Amino acid sequence: MPGESEAECAVREAGEEAGIAVDPGALAWRAELSFVFPARPELDAVVTVFFGQRWSGEPRESDEMVPEWFDVVSVPLGQMWDDEAYWLPQVMAGETFVGVISYDDDCKLVARAELTAAAGPLAAL
């Protein structure tokens, strides 16, 4: 939404897509990822990743997701977008970074992933 901060957007999206109310004070910036699709540049996106541990409500299914609970060591990375294996474990471990993830010409597999440690939002840029 115009005028909305990235953190405010994350809180709103969690409500819209998962039906939960995230405590904005409990959000921690973890990463900024640029996704590049050379064969389909219209899919290119820059995504800010936040980590939040306090929320209320009951997660619900939506067009965007079907909520399921997994132990941290059992997250089914093989059932997710290919890029998740490159950055999600680091986010869950508390690391902060910026990165560029490029997909192959079929837009299915990661062709290259470059992650650089960062001390905070956009610290490495």
pLDDT tens per residue, range 73-120: 899 999 999 999 999 999 999 999 999 999 999 999 999 999 999 987
Q: What is the pLDDT of residue 122?
A: 56
Tokens representing residue 120 in the block: 């905070």
Q: What is the pLDDT of residue 121?
A: 72
Task: Name the strand (E) or helix (H) holding 103.
Answer: strand 97-103
- For residue 20, pLDDT over 60 is answered with yes
How far is residue 86 CA from its own chain's centroid? 11
Rounded to two decimals, the pTM is 0.86
Tokens representing residue 109 in the block: 């597999």
From 27-31, 60-64, 69-73, 116-120, the region with the lowest mean pLDDT:
116-120
CA distances from 45 to 31, 55, 58 (A): 14, 27, 29
- The span from the first CA to the last CA of the chain, in angstroms, equals 24
φ and ψ of 69, to 5 deg: -100, 135
**pLDDT band at residue 2, thresholds of 50, 70 and 90?**
confident
Structural domains in the chain? Answer: 6-117 (3.90.79.10)
